[in-house]
Structure 1
């Protein structure tokens, strides 16, 4: 819970700093592309909390502006889960990661403020090989200007009876193509 409080405090601070600046145009004008490279950090939820404290990753997102307020998104990247020590033992749980590939929409409902959603597939990378692929659903909310994108998102991973997720913050720098 401490980590969640710190993540929310950091997101609030960033939001305050950027809301006090002048509004910029939407990040992906109609009929143009924007590529953003982001660093992400998050807190595992569900069964992932048993063996991991937090995750760190990177993503690349390609956006295409359908209108000045609506963009198609395609996101790919990877998340590494930093594992905990096994209770009563002097070793850690096995290391793992998720490699998501997602597509979705991003709608600017206020200047610089967006809501979005993505869906796709994630491949699990284990220490000794590959795990199952999972459906990933990811709603997000954020602030973006011409170059910077700060977004909060929840990635929900599911495979048969196995469900878990991450609540994460993405900080990205973008540039037009």
Structure 2
């Protein structure tokens, strides 16, 4: 119940940010592509995948998920991003021959940040927010929410007058889900391939 309230509050807050930013922007033309809505906002839906890094890779193999993102123009070549998604990180089976099966980690990250086009179609992006652990009961963690951050680089190129492909590589990491265990941090190198409109 508590997590549902937190998730709902974050989604409402991000939606409010998106709508207030839209209300303050005029029709924007960027030099990157012509694929924007009349208000200049770009929407995308993507597939996310990754490989764990650091100590986290000792118990986990790979992850897959999906995300929705809105890019809201605030200046020439600069966008505010709002992103929400789902990630399932697959635990290893029979770790080191011990018979121990590591449970999957199911995360719902909600992030906001900035995307800047350094040159046409090539961008750098940084986001931060909260990552909600949806299956806390499978672990001995004392927290179900952690701070998450994700620097990213990518390319965005048009496929028609009203759509584009957005492909990026990022490093994503969280703070600890257990106060007493450094291994409860989630970190991975991932990719996002999205269809935008």
TM-score (norm 1): 0.77
Question: What is the aligned residue count?
Answer: 153
Is 1:158 the equivalent of 2:175?
yes
Q: Contact between 2:32 and 2:77, CA under 8 Å: does it hold in 1?
A: no
Matched residue, 1:173 = 195
How far has the Cα of 1:129 moved from its partner?
Answer: 6.0
Greater Cα shift, 58-67 or 130-139: 130-139
How far has the Cα of 1:145 moved from its partner?
Answer: 1.9
How far has the Cα of 1:135 moved from its partner?
Answer: 0.4
Q: Contact between 2:90 and 2:103, CA under 8 Å: does it hold in 1?
A: no
Q: Which runs of 5+ in 1 are unaligned?
A: 1-22
Counterpart CA distance in 1 for 2:195 and 2:122 is 16
Counterpart CA distance in 1 for 2:72 and 2:87 is 24
Q: Which one has more relative contact order, counting CA pairs under 8 Å at least 6 apart? A: 1
Q: Contact between 1:112 and 1:144, CA under 8 Å: does it hold in 2?
A: yes
Bigger share in helix:
2
Q: Which runs of 5+ in 2 are unaligned?
A: 1-30, 159-163
- Which runs of structure 1 show a deviation greater than 6 angstroms over 4 or more consecutive aligned residues? none
Q: Contact between 1:28 and 1:71, CA under 8 Å: does it hold in 2?
A: no
Matched residue, 2:16 = none
Is 1:142 the equivalent of 2:154?
yes
Q: Contact between 1:28 and 1:64, CA under 8 Å: does it hold in 2?
A: no
